[in-house]
Amino acid sequence: MLLKKDHNVWRIARAKRASMLVDAANYFAAVRSAMIKAERSILIAGWDIHSQTRLVGPDCCANDGYPETFAEFLAALVTKKPQLEIRLLLWDFSVLYAGERDPFPTATLQWSTPHNIHFCLDDCVPVGSSQHQKLVCVDDKVAFSGGLDITIRRWDTCAHTANDTHRVDPAGKPYGPFHDVQMVVDGDAAGALSELLRQRWACAASEKVAAVEVGGDAWPDGVAADFTDIDIGIARTEPRFDGREEAREVERLFFDMIDGAERSIYIENQFLTALPVAERLAKRLRERPELEALIVSPQTHVSWLEAQSMRTGRARFAAILSGFPQDRVALFYPHVETGGVTANTMVHSKVTAVDDRVFRIGSANLNNRSMGTDTECDLVVVAGSEEQRDTVVRLRNTLIGDHCGATADEVAKALEENGGSLVRTARKLALNGHSLQPIVDDPAASSEAFALIQGVADPEKPIGAEEFLSSMLGGYVPARHYSTVLRVIVAGLVIVGMAMAWQFVPLADPKSVKEAFGEIAGSYWAPFVVIGTFVVAGSLMFPVTVLIAATAAAFGPWTGFTYAFIGALASALTTYAIGAAIGKRTVQDLLGARLNRIRQKIASRGVVSVAAIRLVPVAPFTVVNLAAGASSIPVFDYMAGTVIGMLPGMIMISAVGNQFARILTSPTPLDIAVLVLAVGAWVGLSIGVQAAVSRYWSGGR
């Protein structure tokens, strides 16, 4: 038995229907049809989601009465079906990909859409990892998983013509042929994928979403079932994070599939850099002289980073297989010529077929990231009957035909003529301007910097800041707080940076505030003006640190500390009241689904948690206040935690006094050194209190 629960699959679940969807035009048409049938719930997770994606099928138009573009389509759906809740989970992506993404996803997918469309940026992964699963679940009854995100520059038909005028991005810029594959399932398999997606939402948005039960059938129109009444294996990659155990089922499933191969392995994958997989494949090829492997990948990679890391890694992958005859192992890329115009098809799919027995579609690349660093989800079918084995062969032949300009039947005929050899058939079959061409990468072309680049682009595991901080702090800081400790350090650096920046750029002028306060320092109504200034400025998200520094400078350390302390508490209480008055829904519309995380941090542990949040910059002062008020945190817990949490910073700023205001306006080298030492003390005290709080909580509660 290939599939083993808790070894190479997370779950084995029954599907009444399962089908392969080849290329984005077919996938977009199918997922659009399913979402139109949704009654209660649509869950979407992706590495990328773009609001302006034209969600259209092969005819490149929408004739169902709904808008074509994704965000407008969703808005129209929930307007017509007010009971429908839509949740969009997008990886909180690296700045390296910013040029390729929707520039303001929160604005386009949250602020500009109705209340029952919820959007969250998923940072529930370790440093160096990404959320790479591509899942859509409709009413827990139908689910899609594979290599395709609902984003731009993906749409293409199976024709992959070199000059398709419909293949343009929202800016009107054309792009080349694009190939990818998705699978759609229903039944218990869809329910399991919905559960998986709800788990990710709970981690990223700190919100539990209940399963739904509806009576309708969301299976997409026009999609015939390739398999019926079949078990679906679900394999994951999940890095260890925030108490969640590591899952490496994707990697184990690759190994086990290769180990069981007898006659043929067909692979199409965007990246080929996982050398242990290449070594496992070479081992099996030596064990089975009749075994052959046909691998399809893109001829080039899009970005410079991919070209430097992934192509060099692919050359090393190929070198491991180079000792086998060319009629047993081949790496190809798809090439197309239309009316004298030539192009190479971008292969973005992640598919593996072994013999006539195993068929796998997923999000996992054959690179190091997909084995242990990123989150992935692959679906696998093991044929148990003659009919299912025939289907596995037909689906594999369909994909080969997609690259060779042939139908599945034409591929089958060509296989017969070439003695059943996939490799010989791929070399010879070329119809309608389509062909597969050999990939040639030069291993010697790799630069000395390759290892450093690969460490960022294709790490075997997350970078590991968590382990570093854990050892540094004696293991007292729980996983969820590592990022906040880093933010304390970053915040300190930002303060130092602002001290120098404010010498040239009037971002905020503590000197002017100090002078204004100094003019009223001797009057009886000075405390009321200062406290009122804190309240108004806090409501406008003016940096409270600037006010504290100016107050200490104007009134001296003791009086200034007293005024600033009372003013900060008054500001905190006022914005807390505003949050309570406008309510959770309004605040969530402003701050997004991750408001739940702030609320959860505040609400779950009362005074201790509020104090911890004040010590570390999980969110700006005013944002925390609004979230606390909207979450109905008891006012005593909130204010007590605020007092405890703000004291270290206020003591530091008040003690520096006049020097702090001067440092922020016209710093000398000595001033900068003093500030660095003060900030270091603040950071050290904050981390120490945070560690003590965490130790107290884990041991005392």
* Helix extents (H) in 206-290: 249-259, 275-287
Cβ atoms of 172 and 71 within 8 Å: the answer is no
Phi-psi category of 433—alpha, beta or left, where left has phi over 0 and alpha has psi -120 to 50? left
Q: What is the pLDDT of residues 379-390, one digit of tens each?
A: 999 999 999 999
Q: Output the pLDDT for position 350.
A: 98
Taking the C-alpha atoms of residue 455 and residue 463, their distance in angstroms, rounded to an integer, is: 8
Q: Among residues 436, 365, 490, which one has the least CA distance to residue 47?
A: 365
**Residue 638, pLDDT score:** 77
Over the stretch 247-271, which tens digit does the pLDDT of each residue have? 999 999 999 999 999 999 999 999 9
Instruction: Share the mean pLDDT of the chain.
Output: 82
**Domain regions of the chain by residue span:** 11-230, 237-457, 465-700
Summarised one tens digit per residue, pLDDT across range 569-626 is: 898 888 888 877 766 556 555 556 655 665 565 555 556 556 666 655 445 667 677 7
pLDDT at residue 685 is higher than 90: no
Query: Per mean pLDDT, which range of 74-88, 294-308, 399-413 is the poorest?
Result: 294-308
Could you give the count of Cα atoms lying within 13 Å of 648 in the half-sphere of its Cβ? 22
- With vertex at residue 24, the alpha carbon angle to CA 20 and CA 29, rounded to the nearest 5 degrees, is 80
Average pLDDT over residues 41-60: 96
> For residue 140, which of 12, 33, 43 has the smallest C-alpha distance?
43
Q: Which two tokens stand for residue 497?
A: 């940076």
CA–CA dist 66, 71 (Å, integer): 11
Using pLDDT thresholds of 50, 70 and 90, give the confidence band for residue 21: very high
What pLDDT was estimated at residue 485?
42
Q: If you average pLDDT over residues 676-694, what whole number do you get?
A: 58
The span from the CA of 101 to the CA of 119, in Å, is 16
Comparing CA positions, the residue from 486, 571, 464 lying closest to residue 127 is: 464
The reported pLDDT for the residue numbered 580 is: 78
Instruction: Residue 38: name the closest of 203, 169, 214 by CA.
Output: 214
Which CATH code for domain 11-230?
3.30.870.10
pLDDT for position 259: 98
Interval 384-401 mean pLDDT: 98
pLDDT in tens, 72-122: 999 999 999 999 999 999 998 654 455 566 767 777 887 788 989 999 988
Cα distance between the two ends of the chain? 46
Summarised one tens digit per residue, pLDDT across range 412-433 is 999 999 999 999 999 999 999 9
Domain 237-457 has CATH 3.40.50.2300: no
- Name the strand (E) or helix (H) holding 443: none
Query: How far from 69 is each of 51, 63, 88, 164, 484, CA to CA, in Å?
Result: 7, 13, 15, 19, 37
Nearest to 353 by CA among 187, 183, 144, 143: 183
How far CA 506 is from CA of 96, 127, 130, 503, 512, in Å, comes to: 30, 34, 37, 8, 11
Choice among 166-175, 231-240, 637-646 with the minimum mean pLDDT: 637-646
Contact 613, 480 (CB under 8 A): no
Q: Which residues pair with 267 in a beta bridge?
A: 295, 352
Least confident of 78-82, 422-426, 516-520, 522-526: 516-520
pLDDT at 289: 96
pLDDT tens per residue across span 628-672: 776 667 787 778 878 877 777 777 766 665 555 555 555 667 766
pLDDT at res. 445: 54
